[in-house]
Amino acid sequence: MIATDAPLLEMRGIEKSFPGVRALDGIDLNLRAGEVLALLGENGAGKSTLIKVLGGAYRPDAGEIRIDGIDPQIHSPTSSSRAGVAVIYQEFNLIPALTVRENIFLGQEKSTAWFIHSRDEHRRARELFDRLDISIDLQTPCRELSIAQQQVVEIAKALSLNARIIVMDEPSATLTSNEVERLFRVVKELTSQGVGIIYISHRLEEIFEIADRVCVLRDGRHVDTQRVADIDRARLIEMMVGRKLESEFPERDSSPGKQRLVIEHLSRGQKVKDVSFSVRAGEVLAITGLVGAGRSEMVRLIFGADRRESGSIELDGKTLDIRSPRDAIRAGICLLTEDRKTQGLVLRHSVRDNFGLPNLTRLSRFGWIRGGTEREEFAGYVKSLKIKIPNHQQLAGNLSGGNQQKIVLAKWLARHCEVLIFDEPTRGIDVGAKYEIYLLLNRLAAQGKAIIMISSELPEVLGMADRILVMHEGRIIGEINDVASATQEQIMQLAIG
């Protein structure tokens, strides 16, 4: 459907402050029926806060909202949904034990009739799924669904409430590329039916594929809204970070030194098969491959998180007996996992407590914690990593993804590791924060550390690595030494096997 010019949704002068932070400083946004509006900005720019205002989770300090030119009176999530808005947050609201059908109509009983008419529900759910062109059995409990399927159920739920404005906050972050394609088909289907979509994502390629316009926020302010057809990637990045990035990857003088980490014949079941490689001092070794190629499983063996069935691990000429993460950490090997939410941070704790958690042994003497030392050390990292927090007592769960990732980094850096293994270090974080993490990787390499970076982002692999290993079905099936003249196609060819 061709988007009409009259806005479906208008948000004007929206302001919202939290203690110590002006999260939204007069934001304007408009959305037309049948269009996809990408909402972009670095971590902490205010995207989620703006969405929560629209979704009725936060009351704005100032500003107006209009839907079809009328104030929809959004005071709560319920009134927002009654006004035709559906927000699909990253954490889904589905109840695992209930079936797909039950989840879709959950909370709508009252509006249907005196009693819940399940046959009628079944028919309506089928219609919704037909409309979205998807086939999921309505009687399946939601706990058995993949993330992608749960997302579709959330979308169906939104439609069952007659949502005309659907907001998706980083819907693709946890999807495989096939699932993203399917999601895009659903999005196109929705827009063709006149639904307006606000789409938040850090994957710029996606924006160019799916969005009609982009609205960019920076530090709580509206920078600009542009038609996607009128801008390119470089311009978009410039709008987001507020300056021209000469390159997305910082320059580095790389001259790897002596061999440090030597892995031989590492195996575990069908996941990791006879993997051997080495990493030099000052070297950034990238390991890439398709999701499921065994990369994470392999480094977990080095870190002692899983038991290896065979193989040896040597650091600086000394054979290590690693049976647990504790052994690995003691030997100077650190693993920064891709899932910072479950493995890296305690979201209910303050950022400074999170920093202190793994460091207790080092910072405590005579059995008590030396609070002063830890505070100073943490303050140092906040500064050098440019971590944006109003104060050290801020709960980790309230921070944006990029800042959470930096806290995890700070936590490990304070341990003085010799081998640093990063598993997807920049997943889900914005270009500006990515750049700072790249600078940090380079700095660590310059100090002579051995760095392993698992990444699925081929531009990142090509932009950062001294050497690239490609894994497929648990084995290393390719090595690229001349990274400067390598191409994405070449890596993909290897990765498919």
Contact set with ligand ADP (CB under 6 A): 18, 21, 23, 41, 43-49, 388, 398-400
Q: Residue 43 binds which one of Mg ion, ligand ADP, none, with CB within 5 to 8 A depending on kind?
A: ligand ADP
Interface with Mg ion (CB under 5 A) = 47-48
Residue whose CB is less far from Mg ion, 23 or 331 = 23
Closer Cβ to ligand ADP, 20 or 372, answer by number:
20
User: Distance between CA atoms of 169 and 87, rounded to whole angstroms?
Assistant: 8
Residue among 154 and 170 whose Cβ is closer to Mg ion:
170
Question: Which residues, 6 or more positions from 91, have their beta carbon under 8 angstroms from its beta carbon?
Answer: none
> From the list Mg ion, ligand ADP, none, which binds 478 (C-beta under 5 to 8 Å, kind-based)?
none
Give which of ligand ADP, Mg ion, none residue 442 binds (C-beta under 5 to 8 Å, depending on kind).
Answer: none
Question: Cβ of residue 429: shortest distance to Mg ion, in angstroms?
Answer: 11
Closest approach of Cβ 329 to ligand ADP, in Å?
30
Select from Mg ion, ligand ADP, none the partner in contact with residue 398, using the beta carbon and a kind-dependent cut-off of 5 to 8 Å: ligand ADP
Instruction: Quote the tokens at residue 459.
Output: 């531009």
* Residue 72 binding target from Mg ion, ligand ADP, none, CB below 5 to 8 Å by type: none
Provide, rounded to whole angstroms, the least separation between the CB of residue 434 and Mg ion: 16
Give the separation between CA 346 and CA 269, rounded to whole angstroms.
Answer: 32
CB nearer to ligand ADP: give 47 or 280: 47
| C-beta of residue 167 within 8 angstroms of C-beta of residue 3 | no
**Residue 452 contact partner, candidates Mg ion, ligand ADP, none, CB within 5 to 8 A by sort of partner:** none
331 binds, among ligand ADP, Mg ion, none (CB under 5 to 8 A by kind): none
Q: Find tokens 């579709």 and name the residue.
A: 152
Amino acid at position 59, single letter: R
Cα 405 versus chain centre, distance: 10
Least distance (Å) between residue 388 CB and ligand ADP: 6
Strand partners, 198: 37, 167
- The length of the chain in residues reads 497
Pick one of Mg ion, ligand ADP, none as the site partner of residue 49 (Cβ within 5 to 8 A by kind). Answer: ligand ADP
Q: Which is nearer to ligand ADP, 43 or 201 (CB)?
A: 43
At its nearest, how many Å lie between ligand ADP and the CB of residue 398?
Answer: 4
Nearest distance, CB of residue 45 and ligand ADP, angstroms:
4
Q: How far is the C-alpha of 420 from the C-alpha of 444, rounded, in Å?
A: 9
Distance CA 444, CA 215 (A): 36
CB contact set of 239 (below 8 Å; sequence gap of 6+): 40, 216, 218, 223, 224, 226, 231
**Contact present, 394 and 351 (Cβ < 8 Å):** yes
Ramachandran region, residue 304 (left: φ > 0; alpha: ψ -120 to 50; beta: rest)? left
Complex with ligand ADP: residue 43 or 426, whichever CB lies closer? 43
**Partner in contact with 44, chosen from ligand ADP, Mg ion, none, beta carbon below 5 to 8 Å by kind:** ligand ADP
Minimum Å gap between C-beta 429 and ligand ADP is: 10
CB of 495 to ligand ADP, least distance (A): 31
Rounded distance between C-alpha atoms, residue 414 and residue 355, angstroms: 9
Nearer to ligand ADP, 49 or 151 (CB): 49
CA distance 115 to 123: 16
Minimum separation from the CB atom of position 215 to ligand ADP (A): 12
In DSSP notation, 117-184 reads -HHHHHHHHHHHHHHHT----TTSBGGGS-HHHHHHHHHHHHHHTT-SEEEEESTTTT--HHHHHHHH
Residue with smaller CB distance to ligand ADP, 47 or 449: 47
Our CB check for ligand ADP shows the closer of 20 and 69 to be 20
